[in-house]
């Protein structure tokens, strides 16, 4: 039976239901469903172009959800694979990042020990055919769909190797792939264990538990840094399980409450902790949201550890995923969550909008004060404010331009091509002669940017024109613009330290995968450095936990 005929049956049922429930509280719903189905039928039958009923319904549902909060979404059957990957981290394929090159698909980086890596693919290899199809005009999305497939099936590739230029044919067997939640972990000489945890998926807690077990086995573990910067959240139950690694059994760590009583729920720790006393610091930033705010906020509320970094995003909503038929799903907000102090970290008010149509923030005047276990002041309505605020690194306009133009990546491929080996990320150095080679590489490349001085100057000129002062001072403005205009040669030297750090990270990834990039990144990480400093000073750590005690 066609989808449209099923829709007509539903329409008929709805019309019958309309007569039965016309006087009931559901009359408005029934009436508006009749209007919707009538409009849909008119478009399907009479619109000048052919229309897909499935697509029209999807458009309608997307229109509805766009006017609600950004976490309420319609997920069609076609989008289900991507949705499942976001929540589970699982898919079947060869395990490699790819990007579009001028006349092919480029391997941007294989994942360690996955099929692409085991088949010998490296960053910079060019995929010229997939299952006999040329990639010359192929999009990244199309290539990705061809590389993915059922586990234990074979994809055939024709590849031009980076270092030899040789064309080889490969048959790679796809595998079920689960992207890890922990992307890098290491125990440092000072006894500080570090865990990079950028995403929640089902099973995240077990990954962290395993790393902690490995750390303990070394006999060196004295403290822990849990890095949740950029972690957008995920399954709430995983947040509770991770908290249970550090908190006693039987504690209420989060509650939820919504319009219906069945959304009211208490989440308790259910096992004995793995590390109940280990000094702990959680790193967060504005990209930390939802489940990562439950973890960091609860650690703060119960004074179990310290939070370092910048304010988190402020997502205090809970979503439910419900099937709506024909393999489609609706993800929608059903409740708010509250951490142990009683606060909700939700920072945006989606019930009202600003005059320009943007979402409004909860004003400071409406934020309420709460207290941690030790009596420290914390507030709702604005994410989790760290105990120690350390601003993160900001890229210079030049660095941003080079990254956006993909020139940092492309140079790293050239370096990788001509250097068979490199030191480990904690020791790798990019020398002055290497940097001069990078400058020479950029000499014929297109990239541009505006400095903060240039942007400010242009704004001043526009203001002067509006206020009729510009004509009298035109020569002065022109002179200033000439003096402030950026000079690429000079800026490459001014920003040399920053660019060398970025190049070091990008190059380390080519030799040591994603974990290599992350380890190199920590070498210029102010927030990580501050966490290490605090953990090495027990008195400072304890003083912060006991500060601002209520009297």
Q: Chain-wide mean pLDDT for the chain?
A: 88
Residue 274 has which token pair?
């793995």
The set of long-range contacts for 538-545, using a CB threshold of 8 Å and a minimum separation of 24, is 538/279, 541/279, 541/306, 544/306, 544/387, 544/388, 545/303, 545/306, 545/374, 545/376, 545/387
Query: What is the structure's pLDDT at 13?
Result: 44
Q: 82 with 337: CB under 8 angstroms?
A: no
Q: Residue 353 pLDDT more than 70?
A: no
The single-letter DSSP state of residue 274 is S
pLDDT of residue 82: 64
The three-state secondary structure class of 256 is strand
pLDDT bracket for residue 508 (50, 70, 90): very high
pLDDT-derived band at 176, boundaries 50, 70, 90: very high
State percent of the chain over pLDDT 70.
90
Residue 199: both structure tokens together: 């995403």
- The rounded distance, in Å, linking the Cα atoms of 399 and 438 is 13
How many residues are there in the chain? 551
Bridge partners (DSSP) listed for residue 329: 75, 323
530-548 pLDDT per residue, tens: 999 999 999 999 999 987 6
Q: What is the CATH number of domain 90-178?
A: 2.30.42.10
Q: What is the pLDDT of residues 110-154, one digit of tens each?
A: 999 999 999 999 999 999 999 999 999 999 999 999 999 999 999
* 550 exposure class (CB count in 10 Å sphere: 0-12, 13-18, 19+): exposed
Domain borders along the chain are 3-51, 90-178, 184-389, 397-534
* The token pair that represents 147 in the structure block: 């590389």
Answer yes or no: are the C-beta atoms of 368 and 378 closer than 8 Å.
no
Between these two residues, 366 and 218, which has the higher pLDDT value? 218
On the CB side of 242, CA atoms within 13 Å amount to 33
Please give the backbone phi and psi of residue 526, each rounded to the nearest 5 degrees, phi first: -65, -35
Q: For helices 397-404 and 496-521, what crossing angle results, to 10°? A: 60
User: What does the alpha-carbon distance between residue 40 and residue 62 come to, in Å, rounded to a whole number?
Assistant: 15
Report the 10 Å Cβ neighbour count for 6: 13
Closest listed residue to residue 243, CA positions, set 192, 295, 279, 307: 295
Separation of alpha carbons 255 and 335, rounded Å: 10
The CA distances from residue 436 to 100, 396, 400, 443, 511, in Å, are: 28, 19, 20, 11, 22
Give pTM, 2 decimals: 0.85
User: Contact at 8 Å (CB) between 413 and 393?
Assistant: no
| Residue 85, helix vs strand vs coil | helix
* Nearest residue to 363 (alpha-carbon basis) of 345, 383, 348, 342: 348
Q: What is the pLDDT of residues 284-329, one digit of tens each?
A: 999 999 999 999 999 999 999 999 999 999 999 988 888 877 778 8
Tens of pLDDT, residue by residue over 1-26, are 444 444 444 444 444 444 544 455 56
- Alpha-carbon distance values, 108 to 117, 122, 489 (Å): 12, 8, 29
pLDDT of residue 364: 79
Residues 322 and 200: their CA atoms lie apart, in Å, by: 20
Q: Are 391 and 311 in contact (CB under 8 A)?
A: no
The C-alpha atoms of residue 321 and residue 334 are separated, in whole angstroms, by 10
Grade residue 38 by pLDDT with cuts at 50, 70 and 90.
Answer: confident
**What CATH number should be reported for the domain whose range is 184-389?**
3.90.226.10
Closest CA to 205 of 264, 252, 114, 271: 271
Alpha-carbon distance of 488 to 498, in angstroms, equals: 15
The percentage of residues in the chain with a pLDDT greater than 90, rounded to a whole number, is 64
Rounded CA separation 291/296 (Å):
9
Instruction: Reduce the DSSP state of residue 36 to 3 states and report it.
Output: helix
């Amino acid at each position: 039976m066609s989808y449209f005929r099923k829709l007509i049956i539903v329409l008929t049922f709805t019309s019958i239901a309309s007569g039965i429930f016309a006087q009931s509280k559901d009359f408005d719903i029934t009436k508006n469903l009749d209007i919707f189905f009538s409009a849909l039928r008119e478009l399907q039958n009479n619109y000048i172009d052919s229309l897909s009923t499935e697509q029209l319904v999807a458009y309608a549902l997307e229109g509805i959800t766009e006017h609600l909060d950004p976490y309420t979404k319609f997920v069609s059957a076609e989008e289900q694979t991507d949705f499942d990957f976001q929540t589970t981290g699982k898919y079947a394929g060869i395990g490699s990042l790819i990007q579009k090159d001028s006349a092919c698909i480029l391997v941007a980086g294989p994942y360690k020990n996955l099929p692409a890596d085991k088949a010998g693919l490296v960053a910079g290899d060019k995929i010229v055919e997939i299952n006999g199809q040329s990639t010359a005009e192929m999009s990244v999305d199309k290539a990705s769909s061809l590389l993915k497939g059922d586990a234990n099936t074979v994809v055939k590739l024709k590849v031009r190797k980076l270092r030899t230029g040789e064309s080889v044919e490969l048959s790679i067997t796809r595998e079920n792939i689960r992207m890890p939640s922990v992307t890098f972990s290491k125990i440092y000489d000072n006894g500080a264990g570090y865990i990079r945890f950028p995403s929640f998926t089902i099973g995240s807690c077990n990954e962290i538990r395993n790393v902690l077990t490995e750390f303990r086995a070394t006999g060196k573990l004295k403290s822990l840094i849990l890095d949740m910067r950029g972690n957008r959240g995920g399954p709430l139950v995983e947040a509770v399980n991770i908290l249970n690694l550090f908190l006693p059994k039987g504690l209420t760590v989060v509650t939820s409450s919504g319009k219906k009583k069945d959304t009211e729920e208490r989440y308790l720790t259910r096992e004995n902790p793995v590390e109940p006393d280990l000094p702990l610091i959680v790193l967060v930033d504005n990209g930390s949201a939802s489940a990562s705010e439950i973890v960091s906020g609860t650690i703060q509320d119960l004074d179990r550890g310290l939070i370092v970094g910048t304010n988190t995003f402020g997502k205090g909503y809970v979503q439910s995923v419900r099937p709506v038929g024909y393999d489609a799903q609706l993800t929608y907000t059903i409740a708010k969550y509250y951490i142990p102090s009683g606060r909700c970290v939700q920072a945006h008010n989606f019930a009202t909008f600003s005059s320009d149509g943007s979402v409004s923030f909860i004003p400071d005047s409406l934020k309420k004060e709460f207290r941690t276990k030790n009596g420290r002041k914390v507030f709702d309505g604005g994410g989790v404010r760290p105990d120690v605020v350390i601003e993160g690194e900001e890229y210079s306009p030049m660095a941003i331009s080079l990254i956006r133009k993909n020139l940092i990546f492309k140079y790293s491929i050239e370096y990788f091509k001509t250097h068979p080996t490199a030191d480990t990320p904690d020791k790798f150095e990019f020398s002055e002669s290497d940097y001069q080679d990078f400058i020479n590489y950029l000499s014929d490349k297109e990239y541009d940017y505006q400095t903060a001085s240039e942007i400010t100057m242009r704004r001043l000129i526009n203001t002067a024109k509006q206020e009729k002062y510009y004509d009298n001072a035109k020569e002065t403005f022109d002179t200033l613009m000439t003096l402030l205009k950026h000079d690429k040669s000079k800026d490459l030297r001014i920003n040399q330290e920053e660019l060398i750090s970025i190049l070091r990270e990008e190059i380390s990834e080519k030799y040591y995968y994603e974990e290599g990039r992350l380890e190199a990144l920590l070498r210029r990480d102010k927030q990580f450095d501050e966490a290490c400093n605090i953990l090495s000073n027990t008195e400072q750590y304890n003083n912060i936990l006991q500060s601002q005690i209520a009297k």
